[in-house]
Amino acid sequence: MSQHYTQNLPQAGDKWRDTCLILPTMELRKPLKISDLIRELRQQLDLSQEKFAAKLGVSLRTVNRWENGNTVPSPMALKLIEEMLQNMGEPGKKLLRQYLPQVEQGEDS
């Protein structure tokens, strides 16, 4: 390892280093991503990527890119996804609360 990199490594007593040592023992919640929401929604609806894409009026490649985290849905596609979730009843509401809590709060206000 070059000297440049070793100089930037955390040292004993450094708050950042101590925090990093503690974190693995703490229960951390996995950050929720839109790609996870799309995959979970599609699977709950029992749709292939191709059929899911057709429902949203986008290409299979687009859905694949969303699920792989390479791109995110447009605002229009997100609105359609939100509508799909709302039309699913309680399972959709659960996904909304889990992945898009701000949407649920917006409805109640």
**pLDDT band of 99, cuts 50, 70, 90:** confident
Do the beta carbons of residue 23 and residue 14 sit within 8 Å?
no
pLDDT of residue 12: 53
Q: Which residue has the higher pLDDT, 104 or 35?
A: 35
Tell me: the pLDDT tens digits for 45-95?
999 999 999 999 999 999 999 999 999 999 999 999 999 999 999 999 998
pLDDT of residue 22: 41
Q: Distance between CA 32 and CA 88 in Å, rounded? A: 20
Q: Distance between CA 69 and CA 36 in Å, rounded? A: 9
Asked if residue 99 belongs to a domain, the reply is yes
Is residue 29 scored above 80 in pLDDT?
no
Supply φ then ψ for residue 87, to 5 degrees.
-80, -10
CATH number at residue 98: 1.10.260.40
Is residue 109 scored above 70 in pLDDT?
no
Q: Would you tell me the crossing angle of helices 49-56 and 60-67 to the nearest 10 degrees?
A: 110
Asked if residue 27 belongs to a domain, the reply is no
Distance of CA 51 to the CA centre of its chain: 21
Asked if residue 66 belongs to a domain, the reply is yes
- Residues spanned by the domain of 63: 34-108
Number of domains in the chain: 1
Query: Which of 105, 99, 103 has the alpha carbon at shortest distance from 39?
Result: 99
Asked if residue 28 belongs to a domain, the reply is no
- The alpha carbon dihedral of 98, 100, 104, 109 has a sign of positive
